[in-house]
Amino acid sequence: MASLTFFTGPMDSGKSTLALQTNHNRAARGLAGLIFTAHDRAGDAVISSRLGLTHGAIEVGPEFDFWRYTVDALTHGKRIDYFICDEAQFYTPDQIDALAKIVDELQIDIFCFGILTDFRTRLFPGSARLVELADSTQVLQVEALCWCGKRATHNARVEDGIMVTEGEVIVVGDTEESAPAVNAEPGNVSYEVLCRQHHRRRMTAGRARAVSLGAEPLPFD
């Protein structure tokens, strides 16, 4: 029986790397798959891993119809054994419903990879629907680390060096502090993974360094 599997974890936990490895392993066994993504930091229609791996993909916009696309492809004789769906947090709940229907009605295995919560610590609608519908949800075992060394569980958005908790949900950036945003205004946007404690206190690595150089002690307690 086909299944819908959701792999999740914060940024830097290796989701895109695992997505590409999952595709490689199945393709090497002669299976035929389709790769999808949305709002990848490298641009449209590509999956990119921070380890430097990239692969072409089908870009999923808000109007993309998974069911129609799949039925049309099968009708025209295309073989499809599995889907790789990266950045699945950006898919709409209706698109997640369509993926579940494809698994059940067309018996195609679907592997989704995405972040659970946004920079405001709120569930992405796509991720919430995946948790509700997936046959299994697996938290990646590669631990992303906060600057303090604790396990990172939260994603922080940093604009011009300042952590923010309000704004547009989808603003593409990277996890390097100096990385410029893609289609983001104003200024530079980057993302950083933090433990819950430092996310609550808005204590990014940059702010921690600045405070450590001054007279004010770090507010750990």
CA dist., res. 206 & res. 208, Å (int): 5
Q: What is the full DSSP assignment across the chain?
A: ---EEEEE--TTS-HHHHHHHHHHHHHHTT--EEEEESS-TT-TTEEE-TTS-EEE-EE--TT--HHHHHHHHHHTT----EEEE-SGGGS-HHHHHHHHHHHHHH--EEEEEE-SB-TTS-B-HHHHHHHHH-SEEEE-SS--B-TTSSBP-EEEEEETTEEES-S-S--B-BSSTTPPPBS--SS-EEEEEE-HHHHHTT--HHHHHHHHTSSSPP---
Catalytic residue among 59, 63, 87, 105: 87
- C-alpha 186/C-alpha 117 separation (Å) is 23
Q: Is there a catalytic annotation at residue 168?
A: no
Catalytic residue ranges: 87
